[in-house]
Amino acid sequence: MDISAEHDVRRPVAVVTGVAQGIGRSVAEGLAAEGYALVLADLKDPVETLATVRDMGAEAVAVVGDIASESHVAGLAEQVRERFGQVDVLVNNAGVSLLSPAEDTTAEQWRWVLEVNLTGPFLLCRALGQLMLEAGSGSIVNIASIAGLHGVADRAAYNASKHGLIGLTRTLAAEWGGRGVRVNAVCPGWVKTEMDAADQASGGYTDSDIVERVPMARFAAPGDIAQATAFLADPARSGFINGTALPVDGGWTADASWTSLRLGKR
């Protein structure tokens, strides 16, 4: 990160993780369009996302590294403090998927998924939440999943991590809401991203499995998740929403219809 440039203090600052592709990239572009300065965090250098948001006029820097590493997160928070002196929004989006029957899931796989999907967001909330608490304002949006609200077979580690992330969200909302820091979660249904392509390639499911299950008869687009995230990030639009887990799923979690009943309504 180049810490030499001057930050325009009138612009709110957002830290977004997992921005090299998929949902995180769309979230970063959406926040850039709304005038945020951006810290783009990913394991991979988010070259294309950085170029796009800069083309959109956003002040933006990339921080490459593993969000599950405590020392990396501490360094990231220090760079944010030095470069911007503030952070208004944190979007914990980086995550990994694991499709595996519970009885075949190794302890190593389990720990890896929990580290990236739950410990990483906790470390970022703790480090950047400190800056928000000092300022008395801020908004954290955790990208969970409908798999954090319900069980889905062959995803024990992933689902436990997302249930945990929603538990973390509700707890921080209770702990920090009185000091001006809101914490919410977005729970996407299935979204067309590289993660979906990899999961389908491993034989987990097909497009029609998902489309048949969703009342609105389609996958989410990354932009659907980005819109909900921008809404929860912005105190002008969601200033009294704290501790919610918002499904963005085309009605999936609301719908207990059997398949022929659902398909008969199309």
Ligand X SMILES: NC(=O)c1ccc[n+]([C@@H]2O[C@H](COP(=O)([O-])OP(=O)(O)OC[C@H]3O[C@@H](n4cnc5c(N)ncnc54)[C@H](O)[C@@H]3O)[C@@H](O)[C@H]2O)c1
- Site residues, ligand X (CB under 6 A): 17-18, 20-24, 42-44, 66-68, 93-96, 116, 143, 145, 188, 190-191, 193-196
Shortest approach of ligand X to residue 244 CB, angstroms? Answer: 16
Whether residue 158 lies in the annotated active site: yes
143 close to 93: Cβ distance less than 8 angstroms:
yes
Shortest approach of ligand X to residue 236 CB, angstroms? Answer: 25
Shortest approach of ligand X to residue 238 CB, angstroms? Answer: 19
Query: What does the alpha-carbon distance between residue 229 and residue 81 come to, in Å, rounded to a whole number?
Result: 23
Q: Which C-beta is closer to ligand X: that of 134 or that of 207?
A: 207
Q: Which C-beta is closer to ligand X: that of 66 or that of 137?
A: 66
User: What does residue 229 show for φ and ψ, rounded to 5 degrees?
Assistant: -65, -45
Q: Is 24 helix (H, G, I), strand (E, B) or coil?
A: helix
- Residue closest to 197 by CA, chosen among 189, 205, 186: 205
Given 110, 158, 190, 252, the catalytic residue: 158
Query: What does the alpha-carbon distance between residue 76 and residue 72 come to, in Å, rounded to a whole number?
Result: 6
| Residue whose token pair is 């998924």 | 113
Q: Which C-beta is closer to ligand X: that of 21 or that of 52?
A: 21
Q: Which C-beta is closer to ligand X: that of 161 or that of 238?
A: 161
Shortest approach of ligand X to residue 135 CB, angstroms? Answer: 25
User: What does residue 166 show for φ and ψ, rounded to 5 degrees?
Assistant: -70, -35
Active-site annotation, residues: 158
